[in-house]
Amino acid sequence: MNRWTYIRNKAIWSLFTIIFVVVLNFFLFRVLPGDPARQGIRDPRLTPEAIEAIRIRFGLDKPVINCIQTINPFRAGSCEINPLDTQFFIYVKNLLRGELGISFYYNRPVSEILGERLWNTILLIGGGQILSIIVGVVFGILSAWKARTPLDYGVLVTGLVAWSLPTFWLGIILLFWGSTHGFPIGGKATPGMSSYPFFAQLTDMLWHLLLPTLTYTIVFMGEYMLIMRSSLLDVLSEDYILTAKAKGLSTFQILKDHALKNGMLPLVTIIAINLGFTVGGVIQIESVFSWPGLGGALFEAVSRRDFPMLQGGFLLIAISVILANFLADLMYSYLDPRVQTE
């Protein structure tokens, strides 16, 4: 099996998974009790007529799918209706046209909200992820290389502490420290900066981004350090490394040409998984730093029964996870020749 067949097979599987998620997303949230037209609000001003008007506006008056009127509470409906008059097929039809619908709660197109939020999340996790990978890999290698030295113990302890730090706690400590040292106390930008030149706006945003990114880096670097260290130590104890040593190669050459490629494999998997999931938002960091990311938006959408937001958001997460895994598979096929020949 050559590399292209491998990639094609992976791509087909990814596509199937996405289709499955599209279907699941629709039914999953409709199983929850509660009426999205009321949004969890009990208000005597809300007449039954008003609720009915909202339901019609959101298309919630239509049957969920042929034979089923509503899922929770379950009510059967007519089976002999045009499928295109059901919520499910309207959802699929719109999705095929690239429309994610209008958020029940924000009354704005879901794609617009998700776009804004996704960009904010990428800003936050992008820098943090790169930094934590660099720090994690470098110190992981150093630690494995200098195993059982004070440096190694230092990295080990730092890694363990960083990995086990509660994210929320670390964030709030950094924020409290920062707020008395001239750092902004949250948000993405200083209100009123929009009339300033682009560069001032950019610095303002980077300034706001600093502490959340630092939190993210610390939380994730520990994991990377430890995994890098242990997997490299594993590789370094292999016979072929001994052979390389016997051939008289320098430690640097051994690491660079023989050990690192193999030692990176587990880390690639972990990074891919983390990347995929953190796109869904690092809600703890977001909520400490009032960062308007995806996590908060989705959390809100669940409690509001905002179906279009939930469907769009979870589709986005699913695609990210699948995409990240697909990329990891590609990396594997490059890093590990066995994957191509199996």
Partner 1 sequence: MKQKALYILVLAALILSACGGLAGGGGQPSVVRIGWASGPDSLNIGVAWLASAYTISELTYSSMYEFKLDGTLGLDLGTKETASADGLVYTYKIRDGVKFHDGQPLTAKDVAFTYNLVMAHEDFPTLHSYVEHFVSVEAPDASTVVITLDQPIPNIASKLVFLYILPEHIWKDHSEDDAAAAYENLEMIGSGPFKMLEYKPNEFIRLGVNKDYYGAVPKVDEVIFQVFSSSDVLIQALKTGQVDMITSVPNTSVETLKSAENVKVVTGAPLSPDLEDIIFNMVDPANCPTADGGLCTGHPALRDKQVRLAMAYATDKNKIIEIVKLGLATPGIALIPSGMGEWFNIEVKDFEYDPAKGNQLLDEAGYKDANGDGIRDMPDGSRPLTFRMNWPSSDNEAPRIAELLSEMWRELGITLEMQAVESDALTSKCCPALDYDLMIWGWVADPDPNSLLIVPTTDQIPTGYNETGYSNPRYDELFAAQGAELDKDKRIKMAWEMQQLVHDDVAYIIPYYPYAVQAYRTDRFTGWLDTETKLALEDPSSLTIIEPVK
Point out which residues bind partner 1 (CB under 8 A).
Answer: 32-35, 38-54, 56-57, 73, 102, 105-108, 113, 116, 172, 175-176, 179-180, 184-194, 196-197, 199-200, 202-204, 206-207, 286-290, 292, 296-297, 303, 305
Q: Which is nearer to partner 1, 99 or 204 (CB)?
A: 204
Q: Which residue number, 200 or 242, has a Cβ lying nearer to partner 1? A: 200
Q: Which two tokens stand for residue 191?
A: 């209100």
- Smallest distance from partner 1 to CB 298, Å: 13
* Peptide linkage before 197 cis (omega within 30 of 0): no
Count of C-beta atoms within a 10 Å radius of residue 11: 12
Q: How far is the CB of 280 from partner 1 (least distance, A)?
A: 17
CB of 30 vs partner 1, minimal distance in Å: 13
Q: Which is nearer to partner 1, 116 or 336 (CB)?
A: 116
Instruction: Give CA torsion, residues 69, 71, 73, 79, to 10 deg.
Output: 30
- Measured from the CB atom, the residue of 32 and 160 that comes closer to partner 1 is 32
- CA 138: distance to chain centroid? 24
The per-residue b/e assignment along 53-91, b for 16 or more CB within 10 angstroms, e otherwise, is ebbeebbbebbbbbebbeeeeeeeeeeeeeeeebbbeeb
Instruction: Return the sign of the alpha-carbon dihedral for residues 207, 209, 212, 214.
Output: negative
Residue 65, strand partner residues: 68
Strands of the chain, DSSP E:
68-70, 75-76
Q: Would you say 34 or 166 has its CB closer to partner 1?
A: 34
We find the least distance from the C-beta atom of residue 115 to partner 1, in angstroms, to be 12
Cβ-Cβ contacts under 8 Å for 160 (sequence gap 6 or more): 222, 226
Q: Quote helix, strand, coil % in the chain, to nearest 5.
A: 70, 0, 25
Nearest residue (CB) to partner 1, 81 versus 172? 172
Q: Which residues contact 10 (CB under 8 A, 6 or more apart)?
A: 326, 329
If the CB atoms of residues 253 and 303 are measured against partner 1, the closer one turns out to be 303
Q: In the bound complex, what is the minimum distance in angstroms from residue 153's beta carbon to partner 1? A: 34
- Nearest distance from C-beta of residue 166 to partner 1, angstroms: 14
| Termini Cα distance of the chain | 7
Least Cβ distance, residue 246 to partner 1 (angstroms): 41
The nearer residue to partner 1, 168 or 277, going by C-beta atoms, is 168
Going from the C-alpha of 81 to that of each of 30, 74, 120, the distances in angstroms are 20, 18, 43
Helix (H, G, I), strand (E, B) or coil at 65: strand
The least CB distance from residue 121 to partner 1, in Å, is 13
Beta carbon nearer to partner 1, 236 or 288: 288
CB of 10 to partner 1, least distance (A): 37
